[in-house]
Structure 1
Amino acid sequence: MSRLDSMMRRLAAQRDGLNWAAEQIADLPGDIADLGLGNGRTYDHLREILPDRRIWVIDRVLQCHPSCTPPEADFLQGEAEPMLRKLAQSGARLALAHYDFGFGIKEKDVAEAARLSPLIAATMQPGGLIISGQPLVGFEQLKGPDTIAPDRYMFYRA
Structure 2
Amino acid sequence: MSRLESFRRRLNAQIDGINWAIENIGETEGENTNAIQGDILEMGLGNGRTYDHLREYANRRIWVIDRVLQCHPSCVPPKADFLQGEADDMLVQMAQRGTQIAFTHYEFGIGVSDVDSAEATRLAPLIKAVMAPQGLVVSQQKMPVMTQIDGPPTVDPDRYFFYRNA
Provide the TM-score with structure 1 as the length reference: 0.97
Q: 1:86 aligns with which of 93, 97, 102?
A: 93
Q: Secondary structure at the match of 1:122?
A: helix
State the partner residue of 2:3.
Answer: 3
- Give structure 1 stretches of 5+ with no counterpart: none
State the partner residue of 2:138.
Answer: 131
Q: Deviations over 1:65-94 (max 9, x none)?
A: 010000000000001111111121222100
Q: Deviations over 1:36-61 (max 9, x none)?
A: 111100100011110x2000000000
Q: Offset at 1:123?
A: 0.5
Supply the AA of the counterpart residue of 1:113: A
State the partner residue of 1:16.
Answer: 16
What is the alpha-carbon distance in structure 2 between the residues aligned to residue 69 and residue 4 of structure 1? 27
Q: 1:39 aligns with which of 43, 47, 50?
A: 47
- The reply to whether residue 30 of structure 1 matches residue 29 of structure 2 is no
Instruction: Tell me which moved more, 110-119 or 86-95.
Output: 86-95
Q: Secondary structure at the match of 1:156?
A: strand
Q: 1:61 aligns with which of 45, 68, 81?
A: 68
- The reply to whether residue 142 of structure 1 matches residue 142 of structure 2 is no
Q: Secondary structure at the match of 2:145?
A: coil
Supply the AA of the counterpart residue of 1:155: F
RMSD value over aligned CA atoms?
Answer: 0.8
Q: 1:99 aligns with which of 106, 119, 124?
A: 106
Q: Offset at 1:23?
A: 0.8
Provide the TM-score with structure 2 as the length reference: 0.92
Q: Offset at 1:138?
A: 1.2
Q: Secondary structure at the match of 2:157?
A: coil
Q: Offset at 1:124?
A: 0.3
Supply the AA of the counterpart residue of 2:125: P
